[in-house]
Amino acid sequence: MTMLASVGAGFLGLLAAIGRLAMFTGQTLSHLLRPPFYGREFANALMQIGYFSLPVVGLTAFFTGGALALQIYSGGARFSAEAVVPQIVAIGMVRELGPVLVGLMIAARVTSSIAAEIATMKVTEQIDALVTLSTHPIKYLILPRVLAATLVMPILVAVGDIIGIYGGFLVSTERLGFNAAAYLQNTADFLTRLDIISSLAKGAVFGFIAALMGCYYGMNSDRGAMGVGRATKSSVVAAAILILAANFLLTEAFFSA
Amino acid sequence: MIDLASVHKSFGTNAVLRGVDLHVAKGESMVVIGGSGTGKSVLIKSVLGLIQPDSGTITVDGKDVNKGDRDAFLARFGMLFQGAALFDSLPVWQNVAFRLLRGSLKKPKDEARDIAIEKLRRVGLTADVVDRLPAELSGGMQKRVGLARAIAAEPEIIFFDEPTTGLDPIMAGVINDLIREIVTEMGATAVTITHDMTSVRAIADKIAMLHAGKIRWTGPVGDMDASGDPYVDQFIHGRATGPIEAVR
């Protein structure tokens, strides 16, 4: 009976958490079309989330693309299929690894930063100060970040896809002896419009999730350094899990037929 | 002007406000005293709508604070937070002019900057701090920037939350004098919460003591020493023994 009660309490707690997150999401989206809009905060968020994430996205994609080429080449050699390296690198990067790895890197870099910043603002009463200065915290802090991440992530994913494919190209041509022109031709021929659309759509969804989780946990942080630390950790864990779950659902939606 | 009637607020099982009744008249400087954790901050945050009371009514000029246009309501207030609560990412002048750069009180950028510089001068800060970030300032300077922000839009009502906490006695004296001068020259209504008795004597027209979730005593500052209330006596003289438990 006690075990049943604790399972029930846990389930109710989960439902309550989902409800709180859904309300927070709804509140954020409800400000999308209602002025005032804070253009400067939006531009700043674009720079922080987009431009300053380029190095980490580029390096992650480059090394992953190179490693992927090596793996496919050595795996393919078991059944004389080494020639499929360009196609598999392209499809692997664009459909899966590009969006997922960029999403996870953004969760690590941006979600944590947003959560820590907003949680610190909360514990130092800066959020209360915003309210007393007639500024809605969701409008000023949350919406610019969520909107910027949602819009800039497809671009980051596109950059990650291209650099990842380039990493595979470089390893294949310099180390594995592939012909450069043939490699590029195979890559271009094999990729479809749906592959690219799915990649960019995943980017937008993952960006939304990453920023929303940072904002949600930041705004709901407990007091003190421990509260800020817990909010930051929880935001990254939640963002990573939701990104992976969303990736599965989007893959199912795009490619199950 | 500000009226609280039977205001209750609990956090979980902790009943912080247990029926607060308080009247602050227009142009009056009311200081709310009380021990740490007695709900002084909760009280003023309830007036501003930052915290929703569980029951009771709070009105400003007869209007319920939780009804009507929030922007117009909040535009009447300025607040100095305990830790100043300056925005880390904005330079000092933008912190001071925050309300003047956006919303219904928006002014051209140059004009807002000029007003910020003037308000900073009013609180004793020179123009060389205007472009610095808050983290580059001392605690006393941050408090003065917070004070400049609180008065930047010339509000009718100003709240001061522990204005001298964490400051040395000289800086605390400077802040107390500034608050008194500013409130007098602006003709603003002020509510200050503090447990610093030097501040109380420097700032207050009237005093209200909050204890056990209720206003224990209220009266003019001149009557405080002869209040005849053992709780007030113990608090203002800082005695460890008396009706207020030292360990709470």
Are the C-beta atoms of B44 and B24 separated by less than 8 Å? no
Burial-class residue B186 by CB neighbours within 10 Å (0-12, 13-18, 19+): middle
Structure tokens at A159: 């950059």
Query: CB–CB of B79 and A135 under 8 A?
Result: no
Q: Nearest chain A Cα to B157, which residue?
A: A132
Banded model confidence at residue B178, pLDDT cuts 50, 70, 90? confident
- The H helix count followed by the E strand count for chain A is 12, 0
Q: What ipTM score was computed for the predicted complex, to two decimals?
A: 0.88
Which residue among B49, B83, B99 sits closest to A124, beta carbon to beta carbon? B83
From B226's Cα to the closest Cα of chain A, the distance in A is: 37
Which residues 192-221 of chain B have a CB within 8 Å of chain A? none
Does residue A142 form part of some domain?
A: yes
Q: Tell whether the model's pLDDT for residue B248 goes beyond 60.
A: no
Does residue A18 form part of some domain?
A: no
Q: Is A132 on the interface with B (CB under 8 A)?
A: yes
Q: Which residues, including other chains, have CB under 8 Å from residue B9's CB and lie 6 or more apart? A: B15, B16, B17, B39, B42, B46, B51, B53, B54
Does residue A15 form part of some domain?
A: no
A124 interaction partners in chain B (CB closer than 8 Å): 83, 85
Banded model confidence at residue B22, pLDDT cuts 50, 70, 90? very high
**Which residues form the domain of A105?**
38-255
d(CA A119, CA A110) in angstroms, rounded, equals 14
Is residue B18 classed as helix, strand or coil in its secondary structure?
Answer: strand
Banded model confidence at residue B245, pLDDT cuts 50, 70, 90? confident
Q: Is B222 on the interface with A (CB under 8 A)?
A: no
d(CA B177, CA B198) in angstroms, rounded, equals 11
Query: CB–CB of B102 and A125 under 8 A?
Result: no
B98 interaction partners in chain A (CB closer than 8 Å): 133, 135
pLDDT for res B35: 85
Q: pLDDT digit string (tens) for A114-143?
A: 999 999 999 999 999 999 998 999 999 999
pLDDT for res A1: 66
The three-point CA angle B40-B43-B44 to 5° equals 100
Q: pLDDT digit string (tens) for B59-91?
A: 999 899 888 888 888 989 999 998 899 999 999
Structure tokens at B70: 């929030």
Q: Tell whether the model's pLDDT for residue A240 goes beyond 80.
A: yes
Which residue among A38, A125, A134 sits closest to B74, beta carbon to beta carbon? A134
CB atoms within 10 A of CB B202: 20
Q: Which residues pair with B193 in a beta bridge?
A: B32, B161
d(CA B42, CA B55) in angstroms, rounded, equals 14
A133 interaction partners in chain B (CB closer than 8 Å): 74, 98-99, 149
Structure tokens at B71: 């922007």
Burial-class residue A234 by CB neighbours within 10 Å (0-12, 13-18, 19+): middle
Banded model confidence at residue B226, pLDDT cuts 50, 70, 90? confident
Q: pLDDT digit string (tens) for B104-150?
A: 788 999 999 999 999 998 888 888 899 999 999 988 899 989 999 99
Are the C-beta atoms of A108 and A236 separated by less than 8 Å? yes
A121 interaction partners in chain B (CB closer than 8 Å): 87-88
CA B105 remoteness from chain centre: 22
pLDDT for res A157: 98
Q: Tell whether the model's pLDDT for residue B56 goes beyond 70.
A: yes
A125 interaction partners in chain B (CB closer than 8 Å): 81-83, 85
Which residues 20-39 of chain A have a CB within 8 Å of chain B? 36, 38
Q: Nearest chain B Cα to A125, which residue?
A: B85
Which residue among A36, A128, A133 sits closest to B99, beta carbon to beta carbon? A133
DSSP string, B167-211: --HHHHHHHHHHHHHHHHHHT-EEEEE-S-HHHHHHH-SEEEEEE
Residues in chain B: 248
Q: Tell whether the model's pLDDT for residue B237 goes beyond 80.
A: yes
pLDDT for res A257: 66
Which residue among B50, B78, B105 sits closest to A131, beta carbon to beta carbon? B50
Does residue A214 form part of some domain?
A: yes
Is residue A195 classed as helix, strand or coil in its secondary structure?
Answer: helix
DSSP state of A192: -
d(CA B222, CA B205) in angstroms, rounded, equals 8
d(CA B209, CA B219) in angstroms, rounded, equals 9
pLDDT for res B122: 87
pLDDT for res A59: 97
Q: Nearest chain B Cα to A38, which residue?
A: B102
Banded model confidence at residue A79, pLDDT cuts 50, 70, 90? confident
Does residue A29 form part of some domain?
A: no
Q: Tell whether the model's pLDDT for residue B246 goes beyond 70.
A: no
A123 interaction partners in chain B (CB closer than 8 Å): none
Does residue A88 form part of some domain?
A: yes
Range with the poorest average pLDDT among A168-172, B75-79, B183-187: B183-187
Q: Tell whether the model's pLDDT for residue A85 goes beyond 90.
A: yes
Helices B109-122 + B139-151 axis angle, to 10: 120
CA proximity to B93, closest of B54, B123, B63: B123
Does residue A24 form part of some domain?
A: no
d(CA B193, CA B50) in angstroms, rounded, equals 16
Q: Is A222 on the interface with B (CB under 8 A)?
A: no
pLDDT for res B247: 59
Q: Is B104 on the interface with A (CB under 8 A)?
A: yes
Q: Is B133 on the interface with A (CB under 8 A)?
A: no
Count how many domains chain A has.
1
Does residue A20 form part of some domain?
A: no
Q: Which residues pair with B7 in a beta bridge?
A: B20
DSSP state of A64: H
| Mean pLDDT of the A65-72 span | 96
Mean pLDDT of chain B: 90
Q: Tell whether the model's pLDDT for residue B169 goes beyond 90.
A: no
